[in-house]
Every structure is written in structure tokens, then in C-alpha cells.
Structure 1
Amino acid sequence: MENSDTLLRDLKNRRKLIKASITRIENFVADPINLGSSPEMFAARRDRLTNIFKEYEEVQLNILSYDDKDVEDVGIIEDRYFNVMSKITSILKKLTQTDSMCTNVSNSKLPNIEIPSYDGRDFTKFKPFIDLFLAVIHNNSSLSDVQKLFYLRKSLTHDALSVIENLPLVNQSYKEALELLNKRFDNEARLISNHINIILELPCMQKGTAAAIRSFISGVQQQMYALKNLGQPVQHWDMLLISILTKKLDQYTNRAFQLDRDPNTLPTMVDFISFLERRAMALEDSGDKSSTITSNKSPTAHNKVSNIATTSNKSNKLCLFCQGTGHAIHGCPRFKLAALEDRLRATIRFCTKIIVLMRIMRNL
């Protein structure tokens, strides 16, 4: 009798341990953090859960053979088992699909990236060159250092190649080659000075056309972004830059900017670039075209009257300010952006033509 009680107690203790193991696996599967685990981790727990449940069934049968009044609800354990198994199966399916997609992407043929050569003459081009080289060649773990050195030498010409040309083609030379190139060309002070000089040496705008203004904006912004990436406080250089850049504008664009800005506040580079963008857009919308009328014969007085009358009647088609077609002078974008004295001069010229026309018509 004592042996039976001892065996029954041992079996029930064993059942508690099995149920605790099922609970641990159940908690592992339910924890979102573990969803990033490898498929092997979930497969191992699936196999472990299968073995544990078989052992649970055997232990439960032995307990019932000694105590047929045992109150254990086997149905609850079965439901937990099947619930956890279904979750593991679902997770394994998703992880397998993800691995398959990653494998397909990694095995797909991507277009070859060609590294442009660097000759060492323009210091501003070294950083883009070396960053691309490091990404494509240096970080390629399948290449040895001597192979990387070979590709590096192949990508250099002229002054840049002469820096590392005499290094022996061995593994140890690769790191030395990178150090020599960085020491020679990755000079931050020289890079900053170079970008500033490009701004100072921007060509003056001869004509304030839309294309010229957009080219000017592009040149300025490229150098400003480069200086900002080099850690320079370009956001505090507004008045300095504006003073330099306005001298490079044509007189009409410069005058229009001075009239457009608020004289009571200091202009910023954002305001300056925004003005140039608006002016370029207005010139593009107006067509920025000029038309001339030539004649081989000297016009008579009657012809002059006819020309003036025609111009007046078709003022909605020919602009007397920019000589463009498709709009009248009051709708001319260039007229609106012009300086006040230019607009007054154009208005007087237009009114004078009307007065002359009226006098001629009165004398006919």
C-alpha cells in the first residue's frame, strides 16, 4: 500500500513538471519578442512539445491505474497542446517564406556598379569617389586585400595614382594605400575653401533669362549643401552670401530683388532663392521671347498709322513691354517684376503711342 502511494505521488509530481514545461513553451511562443528568433528555435520547441505531450499521456494513464478518481482535466491540456502547436506551425511557415524571399532577392542579378576614376585634380570629387569605392569594393568580404588594392589602383589616374603607385601589390599595402589617399586628398580645410571659392567665382549673369537664373540657383545650392555636409554653419551666412551673390545678378534681376524684399527686415538665403525661383517661373510662363518687325520699304505716314492701330487693336496678343505674344502689357510677368521706373517708362511710351494715334486719326 505504501509503495502504491509513493508511486502515485511520484507520478503526480512528474505530471506537474510536464505541465510546467508545456507552460514555458506556451509563454515562449506567445512572447512577441521571440518572433525574431530563428526557425530552428521554434522547430526545436515543436519537437520538444510533441515528446512532452506523449509523456504526459503515459503518466496520466499510470496515475489513473492507481487512482481512478483523479480529478485531472486532460481536455484542458490537450487544448493547450494543439493551440501551441498550431501557433508554432504558423510562425514556422511565415519565417520560411521570409527566408525564401530574402534568398531570391540576394540571388537576383543586379546591374553592375561602375566606379568612376579619380585623377586627384579636383579635391571635391575625392569624397564621392572613396565612399562609392568603400561601399562596392572595400565592404565586399569575398575579396582579399590584394584584390581590393588592385581595384583601387585600377580606379585611379594621374596625380591620385602616383600617390600609391610604388606600393607593392600585397595584402599589407591596401590599408597603407587608403591612409595615403585620405591624407593627401581628404583635407577638410581645403575642401571647405574650394567650395567657398566656387561660390566666389560663379560667373556673373549676363541676361536674366529663366535658364540663366535656374543655372545660377543650382550652382549656389550645390555648394551650400556641400558646405553644410562639411559641418559649416551656412545658416548664419545669409547677409554675407546675399551681398556676394546679388553682385552676380544682372541689373534687372538685382533691382527687382531689392524692390521685392522688405526694407525693414534683413533678407535670408531662403528669401533670396525663393525670389529667384519665382522670377524664373514667371519668365518661363511668359515665354521669354522677343519678336521684331522689319521692313524693306520706308513706311509712309498712313502705314505708320496702320501699324499703330493694329498694335493697339491687338494689344491683347502683343505685349508692348517684352514684345512677347499671348498677353497684354497689364498681364506681362516681366512687367510686374520690373523696377518701378521701368514700368513708368513703358506706360508713358504706351500712352504716347495712343495720343499720337488719336491725333493722326483726328487729322484724317
Structure 2
Amino acid sequence: MSTETETLKKLRVKRSQCKGTITRIENFVQDPVSLAAASADILEARKEKLISTLKDYEKVQMDILGIDEGDSEQVGDIEDKYYSILAKINSSLKMLNTKVTSECHNASTCKLPTIEIPFYDGKDFTKFKPFFDLFSAVIDNNNSLSDVQKLFYLRKYLQEDALAVIVNLPLVNESYKEAIHLLKRRFDNKARLIANHISILLDIPTMQKGTAVSIRTFVSQINQQIHALKNLEEPVDKWDMLLISILTRKLDQFTNRAYQLDRDLDTMPTMASFIEYLEKRAIALEDSQQNKHSTCYEGTNKHFNIKSTCYEGVHKSIPKVTNVVSKSLPPCRYCENKDHQIYNCHIFKMLPVAQRQSYVKEKHMCDVCLNNHEGKCKFTFKCKICKQGHNTLLHQERNVSVDKPTIVDVSAHPPSPDAGLHKN
């Protein structure tokens, strides 16, 4: 088959597709139920599709005639169908527009909710533009009001420092434009706005606890000021290192430490990656609070109805439940938090290994199960790293500075569920 024949075949297939689209739109407008139920947006979309399809059809037809002058396509039939469909769509759109106009022929018959304009006292420069934009939309652009009426409303919504700027102007038409000029000169100062947003960013309170709520509040405060500065055409995208250095100091100790440990040391940090890390941490903290109803421990035949999370991230089925206890476990030996034990304490795990070892020795705790008990420990698990008879949290690598925290996998030793209850 020649190239010309193959091209002609493809063009005729494309022409058939165009004709099929026009036929489907024709079927739609000929169905009185579908046409009556169609909104103005749907009709406009069909109309645009019809017009673009006819243009495609005409172009394809010209290409076909360029190859085959004797083509027998009845172009007139397609054009008649097109104009008939277009007329029905335009008629339906006109009826819809007439209905809307008759229902809402003037403002008195179309009552909209009242827009409340907030008062502006002039104390916060960043609030002037939102105030004035709303005032302009509701009052300033209302052509039915005279300038003196607009001035009256303007004075009504100003208080304290802002009102003092225009209060001595006489209540006449000529004073309105002067009042607007004085207010913008005083409060719509770009340099002062930028300085104000930077001050708010620098004065964001330090996080006391790295909870999901406090992290989300922290991120929201940052984003508001950064977007405001971008709107004022400040090159915030070039401030990444400066902002990160300032904002990391406002994180709580553990969130800051976790960020420094998790970030890629081989690449320069960016504000986008910093915000993304905080948002992911907030999500993780929220998700970790959802599974607090029951806990299963590997290597034990007891099921405890306490608030915790299954180890390894999965629910381990226990073949036989031989004992159910309702007594809750004692609080963490290190931070005294009732929601976890020392083997799952993120504060204890962030300590250097030498400090963990010293604490366990000082409190006369078993270096295998991290409990207090007499005699030999009944648990036989060993360090996952060196396979010796101690808890993985107490493993000390050789030739490693004792001041450097060692992060270990909690799943190395599923801790004893009867922590604080163990006695031989």
C-alpha cells in the first residue's frame, strides 16, 4: 500500500469520527428530556464542542480532496445538520437566560447575604489591605452612593489610630478622595508592611512540645507570613538557609533533633523540604494516636488491654490466651509518662548509649528486659547488633564517641509486657 493511500485512509477515519461527534450532539438536542434538564454550562460546552468539531471536519475534508478530487462526501448535509443543532442550542440558552433575568430583574428582588465589614483600628498594618479591599468591593465601587455617603461609611468602619487620620476632614464630597489618599499613605506602605511581616515571622513563639497540633500551628504561621511576603514581591525563595536557621531554633528539642538526623546532609536544605518534613511528622503523630486500644506482644501469651501500638507495625496473632489482666502497667521509668514504658521512650532512646547504660546501672535495672527484678531474667533475647546478652538499647559500638546518640531499632527486642510486674 502506498503512502498516499495510507494517508487517505487515516483522513477518512478521522472524518468519520468528526461526523460521529456531530451526530451524538444532534441526538442530545433532539431528546426533549435531556435538553430540558441541561444547564447553561452544559449547553455552552456542547456548543463549543460542536463548533470545534465542524472546523476539524472541514480541515480533514480539504486534506482528502487534496489527495482524492473525486471524493463523494456530501458536505452540505453535514453543514445543514450543524446549523440545525446550533440553532436548538442557542434557543435553549436564550430561554434559560430569559428565565434567570425574569427572576432577578433588579437588586430588590435578588437579596444577597449582608457582608459585614470588619472595623480597622490602625494598630496592625498587615490588616489594612484586606480591610480596604473589602470596603472597596462593598462601598467604594457602589455607584449608587455619593462620595459623602462613602466617607460616612468609611468613618463608621475606622477606629482609634485609623480614624484619627481622617477625623478632622469635613463631611463633604471632596473629602472622600483625600481620606483615601491619607489612609493609603499612612497604612499602605510597602516597606512597613514587609517589615511587619518579617517581624511576625521572627516573633513566632517557640514550640514547647512537638505535638501534631503545635507543629501544624507552627507551619500555618510560617506559611501565612511567607505567602504575604511573596505577594509583596520579596525574594523569599532566596532566603531558605536564613529562614531555616531561624525557625529550627523555634522547634522543640526533640523535633529539631529529629529533623537534623533525618535530613540529607549532602544537599542544601530548602524551606519546601523543611515544611514538608514538619507536615509529615504531624501526620505521623496523628496516626500514632489512633491505634491505642489494644497491644499484642511477640513472645508472650498474655494480651493486655492497654493504650499502645503493636510492634513491627503489624498485629501478631496469639494462638492461646491464657491470662487477661486488667491492671495497667506502671509509668515509664525515665520520663514517667503513662502511655509507654522505658523501652519505647523516645527521650530515653535519644540519649547517648553511655548515659542509657549509666541510668540502667544506677537504677539497678536488668540490662536485658530493662525491668527491676530479683534473680536471673527469664527473657532470653539478645542484642540484635552483637548477639550478646543485653538489650539492644544498651549496645555500645567500639571506637564510637560516647557523646553521639545511637538510634536503634525498637523492634530489636519486643519488650516485656509485664514491665514493673516481673518478679521471680
* Closer, same or farther: CA 220–343 of 1 in aligned 2, 3 Å: farther
Residue identity matched to 1:144: S
Per chain length, whose mean CA-contact separation is higher, i.e. which structure has more relative contact order (CA < 8 Å, sep 6+)?
1
Question: Would the aligned equivalents of 1:286 and 1:324 in 2 still touch at CA under 8 Å?
Answer: no
1:90 deviates by 6.7
| Residue of structure 2 equivalent to 1:56 | none
* Closer, same or farther: CA 343–240 of 1 in aligned 2, 3 Å: farther
* Closer, same or farther: CA 86–206 of 1 in aligned 2, 3 Å: closer
| Residue of structure 2 equivalent to 1:142 | 144
* Closer, same or farther: CA 211–92 of 1 in aligned 2, 3 Å: closer
Per-residue deviation, residues 288-346 of structure 1 (Å, max 9, x unmatched): 999xxxxxxxxxxxxxxxxxxx9x97598557688565x8989x7x849x747489949
Residue identity matched to 1:184: R
| Residue of structure 1 equivalent to 2:118 | 116
1:94 deviates by 2.8
Alignment of 1:175-194 (within 5 A): 175-194=177-196
Residue identity matched to 1:354: C
1:284 deviates by 2.2
Counterparts of 2:99 and 2:162 in 1: how far apart (Å)? 44
Aligned residues: 261
Q: Any idea what SS the aligned residue of 2:367 has?
A: helix
1:172 deviates by 1.3
Residue identity matched to 1:179: H
Q: Which structure has the larger Rg? A: 1
| Residue of structure 2 equivalent to 1:225 | 227
TM-score, L = length of structure 1: 0.61
Question: Would the aligned equivalents of 1:315 and 1:329 in 2 still touch at CA under 8 Å?
Answer: no
* Closer, same or farther: CA 269–87 of 1 in aligned 2, 3 Å: closer
Question: Would the aligned equivalents of 2:368 and 2:377 in 1 still touch at CA under 8 Å?
Answer: no
Counterparts of 1:284 and 1:329 in 2: how far apart (Å)? 22
Unaligned 5+ runs, structure 1: 1-35, 37-82, 291-309
| Residue of structure 2 equivalent to 1:238 | 240
* Closer, same or farther: CA 84–158 of 1 in aligned 2, 3 Å: same
Q: For 1:352, which of 339, 352, 367 is the aligned residue?
A: 367
Q: Any idea what SS the aligned residue of 2:111 has?
A: coil
Q: Any idea what SS the aligned residue of 1:163 has?
A: helix
* Closer, same or farther: CA 197–317 of 1 in aligned 2, 3 Å: closer
Counterparts of 1:85 and 1:199 in 2: how far apart (Å)? 63
In the alignment, is residue 95 of structure 1 matched against residue 120 of structure 2?
Answer: no
Q: Percent identity?
A: 53
Superposition RMSD in Å: 4.0
| Residue of structure 1 equivalent to 2:157 | 155
Counterparts of 1:86 and 1:352 in 2: how far apart (Å)? 85
Per-residue deviation, residues 210-255 of structure 1 (Å, max 9, x unmatched): 2221111111111111111111111111111000000111111111
Unaligned 5+ runs, structure 2: 1-43, 45-81, 293-299, 310-331, 379-422
In the alignment, is residue 195 of structure 1 matched against residue 197 of structure 2?
Answer: yes
Counterparts of 1:91 and 1:120 in 2: how far apart (Å)? 53
* Closer, same or farther: CA 221–103 of 1 in aligned 2, 3 Å: farther
1:128 deviates by 0.4
Alignment of 1:9-28 (within 5 A): none
